[in-house]
Amino acid sequence: MDRYQQALAASQVLSDDEAVKAEVAKILENVPEYETREVYQFLFSSIDLTTLSSEDSQKSVAKFTERVNDFDNDYPQYKNVAAICVYSNFAEVVKTTLDVPGVDIAVVAGCFPSSQTFTAVKVADVAMAVASGANEVDIVFPLGMYFDENFEDLTDEIIELKHTAREAKLKVILETGALRTAENIKRASVLSLYSEADFLKTSTGKMYPGASLEAAWVMCQCIREYYQTTGRKVGFKASGGIRTTKDALGYYAIVKNVLGDEWLNQDLFRIGASSLANSLLSSMTGEEVKYF
C-alpha cells in the first residue's frame, strides 16, 4: 500500500451518502438561532466577491473593484468583503485599483474551470498571478487524474502549485458536483489536504452542480480529522450557487457545528459569491439593497 492509499485508508470520516444527509439535517435544525445581524455581518465579511465572466475586461474589473472601495465610505459601520476574486490575468488590475485595507486579491488559475492543460502551463499561470499581486490562488482539483487513480501525479501537481504560490493561500476546488458521492468527496479532500492545500473549496460554479451542504459536511469533517492528526488548520470555502442569506446560513451552521468557532474567521472560512453580497447586505440593513 503506497502513502496515498495509506492516507485514504486511515481516514475515519463518514462517507455513506444517506448517513451524511441525516447528519446535515440535524445541524440544519439549529439554523434559526443564527439568524442575527451579527452573523449576517460576519458572513458578508467572509465573501470572496467574484466576477468570472467571459466578458470581463480591464475596465469592468476596475469598476467592480471601485465598488468595493466605495463600500468603506457608503457603509462605514460594516466590515468589507474578504477578497475580490477574478481571472488570473486581472490580478494587476485589482491591485492597482483597490485602495481599501483588509481586502485580499484572489484569482482562479491553473486552467480554471477544467484544470485540463499541461502542469507547466498551470505553474506559469500561478506564478504570473502571484507576481501580479494575487495573495490567494484558487485552482481546480485534477479530476481526470483522480478518476484514473493517478494519485502520485495528482498530489505532486498540487504540491508544485502550492510551492509556486509561495506565501499566497492555495485553495483547491474539488468540484464536488463532478465527484458526486460522499466517498469521492472524502477521498479528494484527503488527497488535497496531504498536498499542502491551504483551503478546500467546493465548486467552480461553472461546469457541474455547485456547492451542497452534504459535500460541505464531508469536507469539514476531513479538515477536522486532518487538524487533529497534524495540528495544521486548513480553511473551507463554499462556492457555486450560494445566492441568498438562507443559503449562506446553512454553510455557517456546518462550519460552526463541525469545526467550531475557531474556524469562524475570514482566514479559515470563505464564501465565493456575487449576488449573495446584496442579499446579506439587505439582511444587515433590514431593507432591500442592490449595491454590487
Catalytic residues: 138, 201, 237
SS3 letters across the chain: CCHHHHHHHHCCCCCCHHHHHHHHHHHHCCHHHHCCHHHHHHHHCCEEEECCCCCCCHHHHHHHHHHHHHHHHHCCCCCCCCEEEEEHHHHHHHHHHCCCCCCEEEEECCCCCCCCCCHHHHHHHHHHHHHCCCCEEEEECCHHHHHCCCHHHHHHHHHHHHHHHCCCEEEEECCHHHHCCHHHHHHHHHHHHCCCCCEEECCCCCCCCCCCHHHHHHHHHHHHHHHHHHCCCCEEEEECCCCCHHHHHHHHHHHHHHCCHHHCCCCCEEEEECHHHHHHHHHHHCCCCCCC
